Amino acid sequence: MQKRKLGKSGLEVSAVGLGCMGMSFSYGPPKDKKEMTSLLRAAVERGITFFDTAEVYGPFTNEELVGEALSSLRDQVVIATKFGFNLDPKFDPRGMQGSPGLNSRPEHIKQAVEGSLKRLKVETIDLLYQHRVDTNVPIEDVARTVKELIQQGKVKHFGLSEAGVQTIRRAHAVQPVTAVQSEYSLWTRGPEAEVLPTLEELGIGFVPYSPLGKGFLTGKMDEKTTFDSSDFRSTLPRFTSEALKANQALIDLLAKIAERKKATPAQIALAWLLAQKPWIVPIPGTTKLHRLDENIGAVAVELTSEDLREINSAASKITVQGARYPEKLEQMTGR
């Protein structure tokens, strides 16, 4: 497995990481713990060193799963987790109902970190992200709190998720930001306009989540695909049957390139991301071993500058239908 450094921080991880959320949360009922433990360990055996979780996934159960599965492999892995939500028993991940919302107050961050350390069975969190920007708390206060936690040895690196460029700059001035995590793929290209140039300037790594468009870019969905009510895609505008039908043009494009490269649409989608910048590390999630192997295989797919031009030219003629989140969740991004 090739390695990549997240910006100038010196934090080195596998070129493709593993998003763990779907093992416990959001994509239908939680998966079998024993099976997911085997999958996490199989990922390490195959050279994946970068694992992504959050206290909100479950809540709490995903961190517990990752912590237990990887505790004996601690020296081989980098585990990223996140803080930033008020969590209560009525919390519903699909629409964020039942939650009082965001909370990045310093005392709450410290409390969240103590919980994450216990659940992950670690003495230090490798990479700690603010999950969503809390406009009620100055980002300088958040950065200062994480800086304190770094000085205390409880955290190694600071990250932001779905933050806007001014927030990134302000945070980075107080405590250097190692990575920014936001949604980025061939059907969600918002970060290209301002975020990526800012990260390049500041020497910050970029971690695209949902790099396979929450499963859409694998080419395994069409307008007849339906989602269980426990699957949060059932609430997303981009996953209505009309939107799925309208967006098939992207799959046709990926399939065409995939055939030529003897690869799969998913591998082309990941290879395209890897080709954008050497400091980009996508974290596709999966609960299946064959998909894990497929995703790892993307690292070996080489796209020439001509391939990239062809993809960009064809993609620029495709207008993606449907917002990526319902309005309430969309408002939490890019702040």
Decide if 193 contacts 199 (C-beta within 8 A). Answer: no
| Measured CA distances, 134 to 95, 102, 326 (Å) | 18, 6, 18
What does the domain layout of the chain look like in residue ranges? 3-215+277-301
**pTM value?**
0.96
Closest CA relative to residue 325, chosen from 263, 247, 232, 246: 232
| Residue 68 structure tokens | 């237990």
pLDDT at 328: 87
pLDDT at 96: 52
Per-block mean pLDDT, blocks of 10 residues, the chain (335 long): 96 98 93 98 98 95 98 97 84 53 96 98 98 97 98 98 98 98 96 98 98 96 93 94 95 96 98 98 98 98 96 94 92 92
The fold of 3-215+277-301 is TIM Barrel (3.20.20)
Q: Which residues are the active-site residues?
A: 57
Q: How far apart are CA 302 and CA 112, in angstroms?
A: 41
Answer positive or negative: Cα dihedral of 264, 11, 163, 98: positive
